[in-house]
Every structure is written in C-alpha cells, then in structure tokens.
Amino acid sequence: MADIKPFTIAIDDHQLKDLKTRLTLAKFPDELDEAGWDMGAPLADVKRLTKHWLQSYNWRRAETELNKLPHFVTDIQCEGYEPLSIHFIHVRSKVQGAIPLLFIHGWPGHFQEVPKILKPLTEGGDGVKYPAFDIIAPSLPNFGFSQGTKKRGFALEQYAETMNKLMLKLGYKEYVTQGGDWGCHISRALAHLYPKYCKATHLNMDSANAPEYLKNPILALQHAVTPYNKREHHGIDRSRWFEVEGHGYNVEQSTKPQTLGYALADSPVACLAWIYEKLHDWTDSYPWTDDEVCTWVSIYWFSAAGPAASVRIYYETNHNVDGRKGKIDRYKIREWTSGVKLGFSHFPMDIAVRPSTWVRTLGNVVFEKEHDSGGHFAAWERPDDIVTDVREMFGKGGGAFGVVKGATGYTS
C-alpha cells in the first residue's frame, strides 16, 4: 500500500553528541563492600559499560547492521486515539503459502530480538523439509522507532488492535504469533479480541494461574494428584525468586511510571543500569558482549517516543483510567480462549516458569517443549530452540499445522 514506506534508522548527530555529553558527566553512586547482583547492577559493571558506550562503542556501525534488515513504517490508528507511525521489520519468504508470523516483543526488549530467527524461518524454511514463514516484527507503540501516544488509557486492547490492524494492512487475513513477556500478553489479548484473524500463538513465557476445580476440574484434579517433574519443581523456585526478589521494577512501572521516567529520559546511565539488570537477571548466563548491551540500550535511548514511554504499558494495563467495560487486564488474559491454538516453549530461567497444568488452563494447548537452558529473551538467547519449536508446532504433523487457510508453509 502507498502509505507503507521503507524506513532507515538514522540518528541525528546532535543526539549522539548529547549522549556523549551526558555519559561524560555521569555521577555514580557508591556501593557497599561485597555488594553483588542481589542488590542490583554492580557498580563496576555499570562503570565499564558506561566507559565502553562513551569511548569504544560505535553506534554508526550498529546502525549500519540494523539497517541491513528491511524496515518499514506505516500509520495505524486505534479507535479513540491519534494515528501513530508504526515501525516494523517485514521479511517475506520466497515460498508461496508461507505462514504469516507476527513476532511481538516485550519490555525491555524490542524488534532487535528477532534477527537470529529471521533467516532460518524465512529462507531456511524451504517449503519441503521445513515450513516457510513470513516474519513481521514491529516496534510496539511507545517502543523503538514507533511513535508513542499522548493520550491515557492505551492498554492491552490498543496494543492488540495495533498489531491486528498492521497484519490486516499487510494483507494477512489470518496469522499466527510468537512472543514472550508483553508479546505473550498481547498475543493472549489477540486471542480474546481477534480470534477470527489470530489463529494460533507460540509463547515462550508461562503466564497462567493454577487450575481451579470450578473452572478447570479435570486439570485441577490432574494438578492435585500428579507430582511435579524436575522442570516444574525448578520453575516453582525460579518464579518465587522473581516474585520476591525481582519484581520491584514491575511495581514501580505499574504505579508511578512518570517518576521513573525522569531518570530514564535524562540519564543514559540510569537507563543502562535499569535495563542491564534485567538482561543479566532474566537470562541463563547468556554471555552478553558490551557491544550487544550498548546496542540494546541505545535502541531505547534513541527511541522515537523516548525510553520513559515504554514503561507506561505496565500502568495502563493495571489501571482502568477510562472505566471501560470488560477491560483486558492481567486477569482477563489468563482466562480460557476457544479457537486459538496455543504452544509453549518452557525455558528454566524465565521469570515465570509454571507447571504444564497451569498453562493448559488458557486454551487448546497443542504443543509443549521443555528446554534444559535458556531464559526470558529466548529468540536472542536460544534462537535454534525457538526455530525448532515453531517449525514443529506449525509443520506437518504439528498441532497447529494448516491453521492459517491457504498458508501451510509448504509447497505441496
């Protein structure tokens, strides 16, 4: 369509100069003796990364690499809100009948999570041995190089509406999704609101409640009499750690995002430390390079709406500021949905690792795979696992094979 335009990432020189100035003037806190990651991002690590960002890191080189991907922008308007320019990566397979797959990132992620799985799913899917996919990886509104709204109440309904309208605008009348974190929640919102279009979701986060006898009697009985396996035992401990020791950011972002926003918008070191803590704590000893971290955080720092805009999704999801009926909140997305097939890849060091009986309360689960390693940013940490699992779920013999009419991913 005419209003879908190619996009090139091109950060102004004055923005780069401003970043350098702020990094130069950074003032660091002190640190207690023998302080570790349990107290937050260590001073030595943040100082090292700040120095690297200032003196060694080359944004222009990173920008050139990012621009090797096919970027686009187009305007999407949600009901009751202003039109927003939405940025997205779009890679079409050469295989006729490729499966349209919408990759939805979360926080503190972005479109940069998708590159490692792009070629295997689009080019590696030959339509004969492996199913082929078209991949669409947007920057959510308020994130990355998408614009942000100026109106309150932009919550899960609006994020889902934006994603659905984008897919329809690209010509995909039916599609599937893949995601973790907010990508999981938005996929669930799509399942509730747009089951006519969103036909299946593959998720790498276990956001679900324990089965209840009144709602899920068979699952509740199974949960009561079946011992947890090794993965599930570990998951209980991991999830408890997150709820007790790792959840503070969520409380702040869900209650006072504006206050936090002053630090995120004014101080690149604050933005770095706030995000880097999660990159460390939510992964399975992933060997982040300093360049990887700086590119990851730079996308937030240089984002179109600014880094403070990205955390508002927490507040808006947890507050019904416009009094809408039937609001899609954290409770609603954990209710059963019919007609949209579900698949789960379980990674042991994610922030929510639930028993299988829990995730089966969400809908028709047609695929599950347990992995021995991996964490929250699965497409970046464990891309081969995500590729394998998506192929298995949507390939011939998989539980979601043929779920998109006329797009099985195969040539015959």
Long-range contacts of range 60-66, CB-CB < 8 Å, 24 or more positions apart?
Answer: 62/291, 62/294, 62/295, 62/298, 63/9, 63/10, 63/11, 66/9, 66/112, 66/295
Least Cα distance to 313 among 263, 261, 381, 386 occurs for 261
Q: 193-212 as b/e, with b when 16 or more CB fall inside 10 Å?
A: bbeebbbbbbbbbbbbeebe
Beta bridge partners of 381: none
End-to-end Cα distance, the chain: 29
CA–CA distance, 5 with 57 (Å, rounded to integer): 30
CA–CA distance, 258 with 240 (Å, rounded to integer): 28
> What sign has the CA pseudo-torsion 312, 314, 315, 317?
positive
β-bridge pairing 71-76 and 5-6? antiparallel
Give the C-alpha distances (Å, rounded to integers) separating 192 from 186, 248, 325: 10, 29, 14
CA–CA distance, 126 with 93 (Å, rounded to integer): 9
CA–CA distance, 114 with 91 (Å, rounded to integer): 11
Residue 326 is predicted with a pLDDT of: 87
Give the C-alpha distances (Å, rounded to integers) separating 207 from 90, 183, 344: 28, 11, 10
371, 56 contact by CB (below 8 A): no
Give the C-alpha distances (Å, rounded to integers) separating 6 from 88, 125, 233: 10, 25, 48
116, 383 contact by CB (below 8 A): yes
pLDDT one digit per residue (tens) for the chain, 412 residues: 679 999 999 999 999 999 999 999 999 999 999 999 999 999 999 999 999 999 999 999 999 999 999 999 999 999 999 999 999 999 999 999 999 999 999 999 999 999 999 999 999 989 999 999 999 999 999 999 999 999 999 999 999 999 999 999 999 999 999 999 999 999 999 999 999 999 999 999 999 999 999 999 999 999 999 999 999 999 999 999 999 999 999 999 999 999 999 999 999 999 999 999 999 999 999 999 999 999 999 999 999 999 999 999 999 999 998 898 889 998 999 999 999 999 999 999 999 999 999 999 999 999 999 999 999 999 999 999 999 999 999 999 999 999 999 999 999 8
Kindly report the length of the chain: 412
- The two structure tokens encoding residue 83: 């039109």
400, 341 contact by CB (below 8 A): yes
CA–CA distance, 61 with 72 (Å, rounded to integer): 20
Neighbour-count burial of 66, counting CB atoms closer than 10 A to its CB (0-12 exposed, 13-18 middle, 19+ buried)? buried
Question: Which helix (DSSP H) or strand (DSSP E) does residue 318 occupy?
Answer: helix 312-318
Give the C-alpha distances (Å, rounded to integers) separating 176 from 65, 163, 316, 410: 28, 11, 25, 16
| DSSP state, residue 25 | T
pTM, entire model: 0.97
| DSSP state, residue 80 | T
Least Cα distance to 190 among 49, 60, 77, 342 occurs for 342
How many C-beta neighbours within 10 Å does residue 280 have? 18
How many C-beta neighbours within 10 Å does residue 311 have? 23
Question: Which residues touch 17 (CB under 8 Å, ≥6 apart)?
Answer: none
CA–CA distance, 107 with 297 (Å, rounded to integer): 12
